[in-house]
Chains A and B, each alone.
Chain A
Amino acid sequence: MTMTEQLTDMRTEYGKTLIELGKENPNVVVLGADTTDSLKTAKFGEVYPERFFNVGIAEANLVTVAAGLASAGKVAFASTYAIFLPGRCVDQIRNAIAYPSRGDKKGLNVKLVVSHGGLSVGADGGSHQQIEDIAIMRAIPNMRVLIPADSVTVKKLTWIISQQYGPFYMRMARTKTPLIHQESQEFEIGKGITLRDGSDCTIAACGITVKMALDAAESLKQEGISCRVIDGFSVKPIDAELFEKAARETGGIVTCEEHNILAGFGSAIAEVVSERYPVPIKRIGAQDMFGESARDKEIPLLFEKHGITSVNIAKKVKEIRSKS
């Protein structure tokens, strides 16, 4: 693959979209915890200072103040790095945001949008590479979990979650990412997107690993293996029908994520498929090991250590096929 790719930045798109949202909806408020420059939310504060709150390095407070704002009818976007929200504030997220329910309104209207999810954080090291957030967040009732693959997805999902009541967790990557989707692509919570059809095996990925899935499918095509590729950005609710169908029609699934293989995206698919139409599944992700520092150019090495590569995806596809 020598084709040059157009790289875009998820956070920049998020910050831009928030300003558009703010114009459209006066109830949108944005909160940060001393990372507003990095998350690109600070600009919202320049445009709408009365609707922007930087609570300092106090994430528990960040999340709970957001809950309080939501309790009074605000659509509260609270953002910082992934490592500081699900991992650090699971109690506040659970009890102040997800739990409070009144009638049909399940949970409060808080949108936790984070950056720096997964191993691709790189140089900051394993302490800052959140590889447990999908597991934590999808175990919380009323919480929905989204992992966008590119900046188009970020923009679309930011709009969608601002309009859908209730708590959401959306995880962006630190690194710039190639565009996966067209501007015209429609997104729906709970619906995966089939990026490429195929009949021999399915590759399901989320976030920046969607690109690896596409690359693997392309290389397998050269070997005469036809792979279906699904962008499973809606990790919860998961598109059970789509994955069941993929299982039926392709006979096996390889999942890929930059998250621990335990209780993450792959696990969510395995849960659904094993109950509906069991087929062989191979999960690719962090091997229940913490990450470590890697400079940008070395991030592929870090991924390789955990087997999060298009090469390994292709290998797993072949393993599945050899068994069936």
Chain B
Amino acid sequence: MGLNYYQIKKNVLKARKLVIKGTTAAGSGHPGGSFSMAEILGCLLFKFIKYDPKNPLWEERDRLILSKGHASPGLFSNLAVAGYFDPSEIETLRQFGSRLQGHPDLKCPGVEFCGGSLGLGISYSIGNALAAKIDGKNHRIYTIIGDGESDEGQVWEAAMTAVKYKVDKMTVIQDRNFIQQDSYTEKIMPLDEELVGDDLSEMWKDASRWKTGDKWRSFGWNVIEIDGHRIEQIDYAINKAIQTKGVPSIIIARTIKGKGVEHMEDNPQWHGKAPKPEIAPIIDVELDSQFMIAPSIIAGDMSNLENEVKRCADGRADYIHLDVMDGEFVPNKTFDHNKIKELRPITAIPFDAHLMINEPVKHVRDYVEAGCDIITVHAEVCDEASFGEIHDILRQNQVGVGLAINPDTDLPNWSNKFISDLDHLIVMSVVPGKSGQKYIESSHEKTQKLSKKLAEHKFEGYIEADGGINLENAGQCFADGARAFVGGGAIVGQKDVRGIIREFRKTILHTRRKLLIQKAHEFGGTELVNKWIELHVIGEKKNELIQLSKELGYN
């Protein structure tokens, strides 16, 4: 079974956009804490939790208890995406007569707990779990608490009770976003260590300063610490918690408040404030412009791919691109599913198998079984029937569905019917077959055209730029419409993979910021551009934005 990576990502994006829609319409609400837990909720609802939106009170359902109830826009948005009600209802958020109250309310289908008065969720979940135990029921309870919320003494009363009664059907997830209403948690009431100065990122980097998990460990809990925005880590942690018997589990998920919108990220102001209506469209574009970096390991030491995978994982790649070549579809041979199976245990990071092989329909199951999370096949060796079969196999196994085209290939007509359901499209910008080639310049124009066509066909996936991508052309590729970037020699070929990935992100982010300024200008001229830039009060972003705006002649 794959991670269901792209489906989760797509739903998380939809939910984030609904949060903006809802809070903007309401003129108030809590986007910051909704965004920090966005991936967590996405994984829970679209991978783990058993529920039936047509029958919200189905007895066997798993329970999702949002203890940090102020993040209700995040919960409601996810429930809408999950099918409990029409997404348009989000615009009634906080309105008189709405089912979508300022804090979660049982009026809204799918809501299990009226959270918001903080510190209550774990106790309530324990009660639910104890009842399930008496009744011999097997459902699980997932409880999301905040870090600011953990100032509440009742959290720790519940922590003891859960251990006493061996409540192992409950998984608590702490959304550790380091911010509470007044300011940074470590300033108001340190959970880790007192924050000296204002640089939150220092806190993030230095694991020796993380004490939150130790508190829970000392209470007897099974503690799993992860990056709460990485789907594969959330997936790993939840699985680990499910397997742990006899003690309760808590996942300390380090997150970023306001994640996904640069001016909200790590900014305490956005704990409980809605975006201005004129800013919302820019936020929408920003949310649509997320991107991923995927190193291709064949650019490294082929005799030690294990080490290359490790380097990519340590380098915080979004996923790892695995070029499978069979020596027939392309002249070279690299490795097959057997090697992938060997590499799989090294990391939880998603594996994207790019199958440059003939008759992929015959082999695709092997790659599913090897543990790939995304599988891409070439349009040149598929037709409607075989791709349809591949599509179905992949979907059944929660594996992402990718299609690839060579530089001299256009999207075949038969693929049109799959576009809206495609997870990613690889636009090859070198002739596949070997690493180290130069980017074919005409690929820029091709990607731009494709990007338009795909949009017309309601494509919701990522265009992946693959072949000769480097720091010089990545920005332009982003402007063309690419949102995933495969880096061979330019990443894996470098000594400091982590450093170079950071550089890639910086470069692409720069282009993205430029694009957003242009969009802002389009929506509301220089005035809106300046207004939007003014929102970027945390870190160094503002200076770069002002510079970009100048370059564009907007001031």
Q: Is B212 an interface residue (CB 8 A)?
A: no
Considering the complex, give the chain B residue whose CB is closest to the CB of A89: B154
Q: Are A61 and B123 in contact (CB under 8 A)?
A: yes
A101/B134 contact (C-beta < 8 A), A60-B123, A60-B154, A95-B116 known:
no
A87 to chain B, nearest CB (A): 16
Of A11-19, A64-72, A273-281, A304-312, which binds chain B? A64-72
Q: A50 at interface (Cβ–Cβ under 8 A)?
A: yes
What mask results when residues 75 to 115 of chain A are scored 1 for a CB within 8 Å of chain B, else 0? 01000000000000001101110011110000000000000
Is the CB–CB distance between A64 and B120 below 8 Å? yes
Q: For the complex, is A290 an interface residue (Cβ under 8 Å from B)?
A: no
Asked whether B127 lies within 8 Å of A72 as measured between CB atoms, the reply is yes
Within 8 Å of chain B (Cβ to Cβ): is A29?
yes
Q: Which of B99-127 contact A (CB under 8 A)?
A: 105-107, 112-114, 116-117, 119-120, 123-127
CA distance A101 to B153 in the complex (A): 26
B158: nearest chain-A partner, CB-CB: A61
Considering the complex, give the chain B residue whose CB is closest to the CB of A68.
B127
Q: Are A68 and B126 in contact (CB under 8 A)?
A: yes
User: Within 8 Å of chain B (Cβ to Cβ): is A73?
Assistant: yes
| Contact in complex: A64, B165 (CB < 8 Å) | no
Is A74 a contact partner of B123 (Cβ separation < 8 A)? no
Q: Interface code A32-75, partner B: CB below 8 Å = 1, 0 otherwise?
A: 00000000000000000011010110101100111111111110
Residue of B nearest to A63 (CB): B123
Taken together as a complex, chains A and B put the C-alpha atoms of A102 and B110 apart, in Å, by: 12
Given that A58-B157, A95-B120, A102-B106 are known contacts, is A29 also in contact with B134, CB under 8 Å in the complex? Answer: yes
B124→A58 contact, CB < 8 A: no
A99 contacts B114, C-beta separation under 8 Å: yes
Given contacts A92-B120, A100-B106, contact A64 B127 (CB under 8 A): yes
Contacts A58-B157, A100-B106; A65 near B117 (Cβ below 8 A): no
Interface string of B273-293 (1 = CB under 8 A from A): 000000000000000000000
User: When chains A and B are docked, how far (Å) is the Cα of A94 from the Cα of B117?
Assistant: 10
Residues of A within 8 A of B130 (CB): 29, 53, 65, 68-69
Residues of A in contact with B, size category: 20 to 34
Known: A29-B134, A55-B161, A95-B114. A67 touches B106 (CB 8 A): no
| Given contact pairs A50-B134, A69-B130, A101-B106, A91 touches B157 in the complex (Cβ within 8 A) | no
Q: Which residues on B sit within 8 Å (CB–CB) of A65?
A: 123-124, 126-127, 130, 158, 161
Q: Is B226 an interface residue (CB 8 A)?
A: no
Taking CB atoms, residues of chain B closer than 8 Å to A58 are 154, 157, 160-161
Interface of A is mostly: helix
0 or 1 for each of B127-160: is its CB under 8 Å from A? (1 = yes):
1111111110000000000000000011001101
Interface residues of A in 241-285 (CB under 8 A from B): none
Contact check: which of A55, A68, A99, A100 meets B128 at CB < 8 Å?
A68
Are A55 and B131 in contact, with the CB atoms below 8 A?
Answer: no
A67 close to B134 (CB less than 8 A): no
A56 and B123 in contact (CB under 8 A), knowing A51-B134, A72-B128? no
Q: Which of B114, B126, B131 contacts A74 (CB 8 A)?
A: B131
For the complex, what is the distance from the CA of A128 to the CA of B116, rounded to whole Å?
30
The answer for the CA separation of A65 and B125 in the assembled complex, in Å, is: 7
Q: Which residues of B have CB within 8 Å of A67?
A: 123-124, 127
Query: Separation in Å of the B124 CB from the closest CB of chain A?
Result: 4
Q: Which of A61, A68, A71 contacts B157 (CB 8 A)?
A: A61
Q: Which residues of B contact A100 (CB under 8 A)?
A: 105-106, 113-114
CB B310 to nearest CB in A, in angstroms, measures 43
Q: Is the interface of B mostly helix, strand, loop or mixed?
A: helix
> How many whole Å from B64's CB to the nearest CB in chain A?
13
CA distance A230 to B154 in the complex (A): 41
Q: Which residues of chain A in 126-180 are interfacial with respect to chain B, using CB atoms and an 8 Å cutoff?
A: none
A53-B165, A95-B117 as given contacts; A64 in contact with B135, CB under 8 Å: no
Cα A100 to Cα B416 with chains together (Å): 48
- Which residue of chain B has the shortest Cβ distance to A53 in the bound complex? B130
C-alpha gap A323/B115 in the complex (Å) = 53
Q: Cβ of A71 and Cβ of B124 under 8 Å apart?
A: yes
Q: Give the residue name and chain of the B residue nearest to A54 (CB).
A: B164
Q: How far is the CB of A226 from chain B (nearest CB, A)?
A: 51
- Say yes or no: B157 contacts A72, CB within 8 Å: no
Give the shortest distance, in Å, between B155 (CB) and chain A (any CB): 9
CB nearest neighbor in B for A69: B127
Task: Tell me, in angstroms, the Cα distance from A53 to B123 when the chains sit together.
Answer: 12
Chain A residues with Cβ below 8 Å from B106 are: 100-102
- Per the 8 Å Cβ criterion, residues 59-114 of B in contact with A are 105-107, 112-114
Query: What's the nearest-Cβ distance from chain B to residue A9, in Å?
Result: 29
A58–B125 Cα distance when bound, in Å, is 16
Contact A61 B113 (CB under 8 A): no
Chain B's closest residue to A58 (CB) is B157
Give the complex CA separation of A67 and B158 in angstroms: 13
**Provided the pairs A64-B123, A67-B124 are in contact, do residues A73 and B161 lie with their beta carbons within 8 angstroms?**
no
Asked if B124 and A68 make an inter-chain contact with CB atoms under 8 angstroms apart, the answer reads yes
Task: Give CA–CA (A58, B122) in the complex, Å.
Answer: 13
Contact A91 B134 (CB under 8 A): no
Minimum Cβ distance to chain A for residue B220 (Å): 14
Kindly name the residue among B127, B130, B154, B160 whose own CB sees the greatest number of chain A CB atoms within 10 A.
Answer: B127
Query: Nearest chain A CB to B101's CB is how many angstroms away?
Result: 11
Interface residues of B in 274-329 (CB under 8 A from A): none
Q: How far is the CA of A68 from the CA of B63 in the complex (A)?
A: 11
- Closest chain B residue to A92, Cβ basis: B120
Q: Which chain A residues lie closer than 8 Å to B114 at the CB level?
A: 95-96, 99-100
A100 and B107 CA atoms in complex are apart in Å by 9
Nearest-neighbour CB distance to chain B for A230, whole angstroms, equals 37
Binary interface encoding of chain A residues 15-34 relative to chain B, with 1 for a CB under 8 A from any of its CBs, else 0: 00000000000000100000
- Cα distance, A61 to B157, chains bound together (Å): 6
Partner of A61, one of B105, B112, B131, B161: B161
Tell me the minimal C-beta distance from B65 to chain A in angstroms. 9
In the bound assembly, the distance between CA atoms of A162 and B322 in angstroms comes to 63
Q: Mark B460-486, 1 if CB is under 8 A from A, else 0.
A: 000000000000000000000000000
> How far is it, in angstroms, between the C-alpha of A70 and the C-alpha of B165 when the chains are bound?
17
Q: Which residue in B117, B135, B157 is a CB contact (below 8 Å) of A55?
A: B157
C-alpha gap A233/B303 in the complex (Å): 84
**Which of chain A's residues have a CB closer than 8 A to the CB of B123?**
60-61, 64-65, 67-68, 92, 96
Least Cβ–Cβ distance between B127 and chain A, in angstroms: 2
A71 and B113 CA atoms in complex are apart in Å by 9
Residues of A within 8 A of B129 (CB): 68
Chain B residue at minimum C-beta to C-beta distance from A31 = B127
Residue of chain A at shortest CB distance from B130: A69
Nearest CB of B to A103, in Å:
9
| Closest B residue, CB atoms, query A74 | B131
Q: List 11 A-B contacts (CB under 8 A).
A: A56-B157, A61-B157, A61-B161, A64-B154, A65-B124, A65-B126, A66-B127, A71-B124, A72-B135, A92-B154, A96-B117
Q: Give B residues with C-beta under 8 Å from A.
A: 105-107, 112-114, 116-117, 119-120, 123-135, 153-154, 157-158, 160-161, 164-165
Knowing that A65-B126, A71-B128 touch, tell me 15 more A-B residue pairs with CB under 8 angstroms.
Answer: A50-B133, A55-B157, A55-B161, A56-B161, A61-B158, A64-B123, A64-B154, A66-B127, A67-B124, A67-B127, A70-B127, A72-B131, A74-B131, A96-B114, A102-B106
Point out residues on A near B: beta carbons under 8 Å: 29, 50-51, 53, 55-56, 58, 60-61, 64-74, 76, 91-92, 94-96, 99-102
The 9 closest A-B pairs by CB, nearest first: A68-B127, A72-B131, A64-B123, A58-B157, A61-B157, A68-B124, A69-B127, A65-B127, A95-B117
